[in-house]
Amino acid sequence: MAAGEAVVVGVRVRPFNDRENNLNAVVCIDMEGPTTRIRNIDTGDEKTFTFDESFWSHDGFEDDGTGYLRPLPNSKYADQRYVFDTFGQRVLDNAWNGFHCCLFAYGQTGAGKSYSMVGYGNNKGIVPISCEEIFRRIGQEKDPQKRYEVTVSMIEIYNEAIQDLLIDVELRPKKGLEVRESKALGIYIDGVIKRPVESYEAIETTIEEATNHRTVGSTLMNATSSRAHTVQIIEFKAVKDGSATVSMINLVDLAGSEKAGQTGATGDRLKEGSMINKSLSALGNVIEKLADRGSEKKKNVLIPYRDSKLTRLLQNALGGSSKTIMICALSPASSNHEETLSTLRYADRAKKIKNIAVPNENPQERLMRELREENEKFKKIFEAMQGGTMPSADEIKEMGLAQQEIAAMEGALAELNKSWEDKVAESREQQEAARMRRSSVNGVAALKKNLQPMMVNLNEDKTLVGRVRFSFPPGRTLIGGLGDESDSDSESGSESDSDSSTGSQPEGEKSPEEMFEDEDESPHIELGEGVARRHAVVFHDNDQNLCTIYAASEEGLKQTFVNGKSLRQLLKSQGLEEVICRQKDKPEAAGIELSHADTLVFGRHFFVFVDHMVCAPEILIASGQVDYAQAKREWQMEQLSGVHESLIVATRGGVLGVSHVMELAEKDEIIESQKAEIAELKQQMVTMKAELDRYKKMAGGRLAAGANMLGELYADELLESQMDEISKDIQKTFKDAIDQMNDVQAIFSKKALREGHLTWRSVT
């Protein structure tokens, strides 16, 4: 028996992202050759791992003028080309030699998986470079008797449903496609489209089409980021003298692993997150079991491939006759130490997996042999039946399975017997028919939709910016999410009712607004977690080309933001009445009018409003007038400045009134929502303590006491929302700084007193 070949494993660390730079993150990763070290900044503990490759892509690079990031002289920076030459070329070499092969990327959300696999701009990833390289090699083939055939499929796995991304969303089966297993065909997806491609441009067009379908499909659950596993399957066939070898290349971009605590998911949203992570957990279990089997300590290990669609699909890649490569993406930030260490352990287990890969034989010859064997089995059963022996229940069941097997093999054989020219022509006819169908059914609607005002998504991942578009047709558009009905109606008692209705109703009767609210209406625009079921309403006056936004619930009033300010803040600043719109018709009370390039935030979903009369969304995004980082900074600064203003108003009066306490309590939600970011600051406490020490020396004992007390009571809130303000005040005047610290300490101490944490006392 041939010796097993270990899975090739590499890890890659990315640069700090904007969020980590703003937090003054500390590097906890170091790499030298194939060795990766990770250090716990708090304890000083260090762990060392060795892989086939450790790609250092954190620093040591420059822009070559075209947007491509290249290494500086004498730098260990691994650019996109180096990663492809190390791993991507190996995948293609294996395919050219007749082996099945698989490359998949794993890592926590935002660790850089998609950058390595797909890339961005001129920094192309492994997938597009591999596609280019395939046709470059085909073009260099000098044997006139040898020809190559390439087909492409693209699927995604979301919530345990496999969807073909080359099928229009409205035509897909609701439950998705099924993964099946055949003795002759191995593991395959029943009914998946295999599109013939004759050039890199054809592959590029196919991938773009699939990506657009993926975005539309994923937004049914999440508005701004696709959290589905994506698999690109390239079937590579080499034909010479009537004989052929077929290699399957699987390029897998796994969804990012997440912690429920970091997303703040609860209730239904937590349940949805659990479903999304199910396949990743199953993959971890499979890798662990395969590692046990590969270590030769345990041979008879049951591998739970059937626990998820992902592991079932990757069964051949992980434990079969495939040459497999795994690249794990790492965050360099100490704040992500736990997740990064988990990823390294994951990769360390994966490198213990061993597969036995053999070159693939002629698929036609194999199918013919398998069909003959199945026919022989049926012949023996029929001969026994003619002799008076009836088959058993198990034999009948086996016959049924054998018939399915034969049908699958006959279909595959018929496909193989088609000429390449017939396959290409048939594919073109299908694409043209689909295009005509979309044009005839959706053409007019699409034209109208593009001429309507819309909101377009903003995302930290620039490849996803502008992918999600929601238009506002004339009339009313309800925006909602995955929240329960209680999210929409909570805290909307008599005050909200008085805002949204006029006059009194006879007892037992309902107003038109109340009757409408009772209807189980689904949102016209459905976003993801963090958004109430009825969140906001947009009214589009087509005659005036004017869009006005209202809150549809108390939650929407607080968690709908225009240019960083909540609807409640905007209405208050403009002296307008708070109104919660539950009726079909536009309220008489004024709402907030939207202008071109306004940023919109619903919960934590970021968009930009686009007026088609001004310019198209592509032009607005390309202009750089708006982007995700700018919108998020604007949103955060408005919230933090709101907290600071509340503190100043309360302290200038000398008394912390009930109204101020209530206003601060409302701001607590903002502070709580940023717990994930604030928690990361705990890793930076060493640096921040040095800053506090400097304050102590400059301002004396009184300031030191105030700083220490605030650090003990509300270190998280202080670091996030007050440090910049205090620092500025100290530079202006020491006395003002001391007064500011006393005021802040008094407010927080009184709040703590109200919660029963401590007794009231002042710094002075």
Return binding residues for ATP. 107-114
Is 214:165 a contact under the CB 8 Å cutoff?
yes
Q: HSE, CB side, 13 Å, CA atoms: give it for residue 110.
A: 16
Distance (Å, rounded) from C-alpha 140 to C-alpha 586?
A: 66
Q: Which residues are annotated as a binding site?
A: 107-114
186: left (phi over 0), alpha (psi -120 to 50) or beta: left
DSSP H helical ranges for 562-657:
567-573, 617-623, 628-652
C-alpha 84/C-alpha 125 separation (Å) is: 8
DSSP bridge pairs for 12: 55, 329
Sign of CA dihedral 481, 484, 487, 492: positive
CB crowding 140-175: b at 16 or more within 10 Å, else e: eeeeeeeebbbbbbbbbbbeebbbbbbbeeeebeee
Neighbours of 220 (CB within 10 A): 12
CA distance 569 to 562: 10
Identify which of 413, 412, 403 has the alpha carbon closest to the alpha carbon of residue 375.
403
**Structure tokens of 500?**
């949204």
State the CB neighbour count (10 A cutoff) for residue 463: 14
CA dihedral 499, 503, 507, 509 (to 10 degrees): -80
Task: Give CA–CA dist 489/479, Å, rounded.
Answer: 15
Rounded CA separation 98/236 (Å) = 9
User: How many other CB atoms are found less than 10 A from the CB of residue 357?
Assistant: 20
- CB-based contacts of 375: which residues, under 8 Å, 6+ apart? none
Cα dihedral 281, 286, 291, 292 sign = positive
Q: Which two tokens mark 21? A: 């730079």
State the Cα–Cα distance between residues 405 and 761, nearest whole angstrom: 81
Residues 6+ apart with CB under 8 A from 263: 269, 273, 529, 676
Would you state the structure tokens that stand for residue 259, as one six-digit string?
């912690």
The answer to whether 601 touches 635, Cβ cutoff 8 Å, is yes
Beta strands per DSSP E along 398-468 = 454-457
Q: Quick check: 56 and 76 in contact, CB under 8 A?
A: yes
Q: In whole angstroms, what is the distance from residue 401 CA to residue 407 CA? A: 10
Say if CB 221 and CB 192 are below 8 A apart. Answer: no
315 vs 154: CA distance, rounded Å:
18
User: In this structure, which amino acid lies at residue 212?
Assistant: N
Helix, strand, coil in percent for the chain, rounding step 5: 50, 20, 30
CB-based burial label for 320 (10 Å; 0-12, 13-18, 19+):
middle
Residues with Cβ within 8 Å of residue 21, at least 6 apart in sequence: none
How many angstroms separate the CA atoms of 664 and 301, rounded?
Answer: 58
Tokens of 395: 């034999």
For β-strands 243-253 and 100-106, DSSP reports them as parallel
Task: Give the DSSP H/E element, type plus range, for residue 55.
Answer: strand 53-56
**At 30, which helix (H) or strand (E)?**
strand 29-32
Tokens encoding 27: 């590097």
Look at the alpha carbons of 219, 224, 227, 229 in this order and tell me if their dihedral is positive or negative: positive
Strand partners, 384: none
